[in-house]
A and B are shown apart, each in its own frame.
Chain A
Amino acid sequence: MQREGSPWRGLGVVTQKELSDHLSSARMLVIQLLVVVTGVVIVLVSLQQIRDITAEDPFLLLRVFTRSGEQLSFVFVMTLLVPLLAIGLGFDLVNSEHNQRTLSRILSQPIYRDALLFGKFLAGLATIAISLTAMWMVVIGLALSALGVPPNGEELARAALMLVVTIAYAGVWLALAMLFSVLFRSPATAALCALGLWLFVSILWPLLSGHLVNVLFPPSATTADALLNSLSMHQAFRRLSPGALFAEIVTVLLDPAMRSTQQSQLAAMGLALVEPGSIPGAPLPLLESVLIIWPQMVGLIGGSIVLFVIGYVVFQRQEVRA
């Protein structure tokens, strides 16, 4: 039987309450501190390196994010830590309500489950967005004071877009953590599952996928085309991990000279993608850079929506009155 009224009623209340809970919780504070401090330390190291070796660069601000000081670049650390932030926030969103027997109490209010789940997701995303934005501002501020070069609009737009993409990437992991918190009644199980998946996807899969491709499609890098084909095969497998998508997006966004997502892989092999007649190193306009990694961005946004929908459908079909 369909009930009447808007399914969104009470969304604002739930979001507000969840957000205030998140922001005042000790767990959140620890996770945020971890992310912010790590990010700032890495940026400080890369800033020092930029000041030492960069003579002139039209996109100096963007180099702060990509230049790797002490082997770790800011982007790489974000790829690993943002999922941790999202999982830490999301693994007990729903099942803790079950366990504290507060779920039926909430739902006895004129609030639908829709509003509850949406509110929890939005509040989680907002929390992550707040902490990431704060860190982003700290990084930009540090870069400005350390480099002393005013950023141009293009740089700021690219950096802002990177922030948005980072939030979308956190959204995927938040939706996944929420799905697990709906599936498993025990928060520990949900947390372990989510963390296990994170470990597998972020660390094991990049190693495993390479070997898998080599077994399934033995590489025959005799011509440039074959090499590019095998590279795109590697990429296709690696893209099953949201971290790979995020890394590709950010690499292209933060380097205007990047014309293809394969360019950095080729560079790692000591090769360069030289198109006959093209002017190497010429920066692309922002829109062109976005068009290159648009499929990856669609993948991140669409993935988080689909994961949320699965969690939503499972949650709606659950018995909550136990």
Chain B
Amino acid sequence: MRCRLVALILLAFSVISTGGPAVSQDTSKPPEVKGLFLLTDYPAISVRPGTTATVSLRMQNYAMAPERLQISVSGVPQSWNATVVGGGQPIEAVLPATNASVSFELRLDIPKDAPMGATNLTVTAKGANTVTLPIVVTLVKDLPAKLTLTPALPELRGNSRSTFEYQLTIKNESGKRIVANLAATAPQNFDVSFTEQYGSQELNAVPLDAGQSKDVKLKVRPPNTIGVGTQKVTARATAEDAVVTAELGLEITGTPKIDLAGREGRLNATAVAGQETSVVVIVANTGTAAAEAVEMSGSGPSGWKVEAEPKVIDRIPPNENKEVTFKITPTGKAVAGDYVTSIRASARGESASQTFRVAVATSSQWGLIGMGIIAVALAVLFGAVMKFGRR
């Protein structure tokens, strides 16, 4: 009983170490097949002349005693060079243990001028039992590298300040490992870069194993000055002689951008305490879309009145400007000096503000009253001279 348990554990280890689909099998039961097998995943392959083809082979032993097997390949054309390689070096024989397999490969160096057509090879493992495996190698003219490039969302929308990010899936549909070069053509002044899907490293090329696919991201940044419209970007992947392109569209909606400035760039004004002064402000839309319903407002120190005329501008088309008159009334008690008032323009998410330096002068009314008092004093002097003078 105990011996059997140890044997079972050993068996389980041997199955796991050989890997492959056997792992998922029920290991408590020995496999029902019995014997020695020479196996390969693809017994018929297509190869281009002038390349080296590799055929993966496996010598499988099911419930047989370990046995030495001599490996030989027959049917190889004269000009070809066939080598059996195992563990990185040429081998002559294999020895699979019970319920174990030995992997090795057949390397075929096919000359450039080999004639097209199918060639039948036979791999023979010769021991007490002899096992053979026929392999068909078909020489074809060319096996084109094949790629597909699929955008997840080919049309994106945003304003001139957004970054457009396209998710692209690139797939190697050929039977070999390739390195795909990535490129994109975009209108002038667009900034284009490929990055990993999660990461910021920019890429120029991705290596792809046969049949493997990879997600990459294409970032497109349009120039800030671009107007409203649809733009086309072409993403391209090239590998050897395969070229695949994907057409991507970006619709730019445009944004308004509001700038405030004084007339002739002046940002100061003079005002008299308690009296209204008009300041003309130029509201410019330097964005790419019209600014709608631009609300003008202003604020000054407490007690000041800052009013815009008009309060709301219905619409400012791009690259145009409108004049707004701000009526600034300092409080009547304002002390002479320089004050800060700020004015603001806001249109749905876009706003601009500017500060004005207002130099407040006090009313000269009291100056005149002072003059009057001096005049009265002089009149008194004159009256005294008239009344008491000339003695």
Contacts and interface: CB of A to CB of B under 8 A. Distances in A.
Contacts of B341: 277
B388 interface: yes
Nearest to B299: A277
Contacts of B339: 275, 277-279
A312 B367 contact: no
A291 B336 CA distance: 9
B interface SS class: mixed
Contacts of A302: 373-374, 377
Interface stretch (A1-9, A42-50, A136-144, A183-191): A1-9
A115 to B, nearest CB: 10
Interface string B291-318: 0000000001110100000000000000
B364 A291 contact: yes
Interface string B348-391: 00000000010101101011001101100110110011001111
A282 B337 contact: yes
Nearest to A312: B384
Interface string B169-190: 0000000000000000000000
A259 B335 contact: yes
Nearest to A6: B390
Contacts of B67: none
Contacts of B340: 277-279
B109 interface: no
Interface in A308-322: 308-309, 312-313, 316-317
A298 B337 contact: no
Contact of B374 (A275, A278, A285, A301): A301
Query: Which residue of A275, A276, A301, A316 has the most chain B CB atoms within 10 A of its CB atom?
Result: A275
A278 B337 contact: yes
A294 interface: yes
A40 to B, nearest CB: 33
Contacts of A291: 336, 361-362, 364, 366-367
A292 B361 CA distance: 10
B301 A275 contact: yes
Given A275-B301, A282-B337, A295 B366 contact: yes
A291 B361 CA distance: 9
A82 interface: no
A7 B389 contact: yes
B389 A112 contact: yes
Contact of A259 (B300, B301, B336, B380): B336
B338 interface: yes
Contacts of B378: 305
A284 interface: yes
A271 to B, nearest CB: 15
Contacts, number: 103
Interface residues of A, number: 37
Contacts of B361: 285, 287-288, 291
Contacts of B371: 298
B388 A313 contact: yes
A113 B385 CA distance: 10
B301 A309 contact: no
A278 B381 contact: no
Nearest to A3: B390
A288 B302 contact: no
B301 A114 contact: no
Given A275-B337, A278-B339, A297 B304 contact: no
Contacts of A290: 367
A306 interface: yes
A278 B384 contact: no
Given A316-B389, A316-B391, A309 B381 contact: yes
Query: Which residue of A291, A292, A295 has the most chain B CB atoms within 10 A of its CB atom?
Result: A291
A152 interface: no
Contacts of B367: 290-291, 294
Contact of B338 (A112, A279, A317): A279
A16 interface: no
A128 B377 CA distance: 22
Contacts of A276: 301-302
A298 B370 contact: yes
Nearest to B380: A309
B362 A305 contact: no
Nearest to A314: B388
Contacts of A309: 377, 380-381, 384
A7 B381 contact: no
B338 A294 contact: no
A292 B336 contact: yes
Given A279-B357, A317-B388, A306 B301 contact: no
Contacts of A20: none
B304 A277 contact: yes
Query: Which residue of A2, A113, A282, A309 has the most chain B CB atoms within 10 A of its CB atom?
Result: A309
A104 interface: no
A302 B370 CA distance: 9
Nearest to B390: A3
Given A282-B338, A305-B380, A316-B388, 7 more contacts: A114-B385, A114-B390, A277-B301, A278-B301, A287-B361, A301-B377, A317-B388
Interface of B: 300-302, 304, 334-341, 357, 359, 361-362, 364, 366-367, 370-371, 373-374, 377-378, 380-381, 384-385, 388-391
9 smallest CB-CB distances across A and B, nearest first, come from A277-B301, A316-B388, A298-B370, A282-B338, A305-B377, A288-B336, A7-B389, A279-B338, A3-B390
6 contacts: A7-B389, A278-B339, A279-B357, A291-B361, A291-B366, A309-B384
